[in-house]
Structure 1
Amino acid sequence: MTPTKIKTSSVSRSLSGNYWQRALELWESMKGNVLLEKWNATVIDGVQAVISANDALTVGHLGKRCSSDNHMDAVALFGEATQGRFPEQETRLRNILSIKSHVEYGPSLVKPKEGQRVFQDADRFLTWVQKELEKQPK
């Protein structure tokens, strides 16, 4: 069985920092919202921060970002960028992206326990990406 091709957009590696800046701003917003117990905003900020951080990582490593409508393609591109060396982070990314449509477009509200869990996962993923990006040559 032939693996499906991931729809990507080519992006200059020099623009990785722009995606990271977006991730940082959303990360800060997520932290503020968790303190205010605004769970819907916390989770939406967390999801979007993780997407931007993943884009920063894949652009930095591969010169491309996922442009597919399927969020799981971004996970596959992460695996390509990291050569499958970080399964824990890949699982974290998959878990966060799997709730994107539900929390952004679904009728139900985020419960505190779910908000805290997503906050923790997003915070850990973002901290890890930050360390990885610091290793990249400037």
Structure 2
Amino acid sequence: MVESLFEDIFRVEKLNPDDKKLFEKVNRIEARSERFDMFMHLDINSELYPLKEGQKFFLKVVSTLNPDGTPDTGYYNPGNRQSLADNFEYVMYGKLYRVTESTGREKAELLISFGGLLMMMKGDHSHFNKFELDQRLFLLIRKV
């Protein structure tokens, strides 16, 4: 069984919060999670996966798409193999490049790059204890 590094339901609060689009087919969403009160900025391909303000989605972060938890080889091999991606609508593969600790009232931050599309998640550091710098990760999303 694959261990989830993080999962929660998020609600889109704003699209392109700085009132500018990064790229023609990319939206930056600003969202907040329901269970853990995490704040997130996430760049998504808006042509492939459009989201609207107020919309909710389930987000899961894992280190492998293999349902049995075996490490991922890094190669996509379609076929009869089952994958965690089968249960989601939007999947990205990336690398964790920064984790900051909480300092006083400041929340901890997690920064992941998915080939140039970025994710910043901010919240209580206890939700980041399964993450490691330079870790390869899969982001899985489906609308709820």
- The answer, yes or no, to whether TM exceeds 0.5 is no
Structure number with the bigger relative contact order (C-alpha 8 A, sep ≥ 6) is 1
**Larger % of strand: which?**
2
Calculate the TM-score normalised by the size of structure 1.
Answer: 0.26
TM (norm. structure 2) is 0.25
Higher helix share: 1
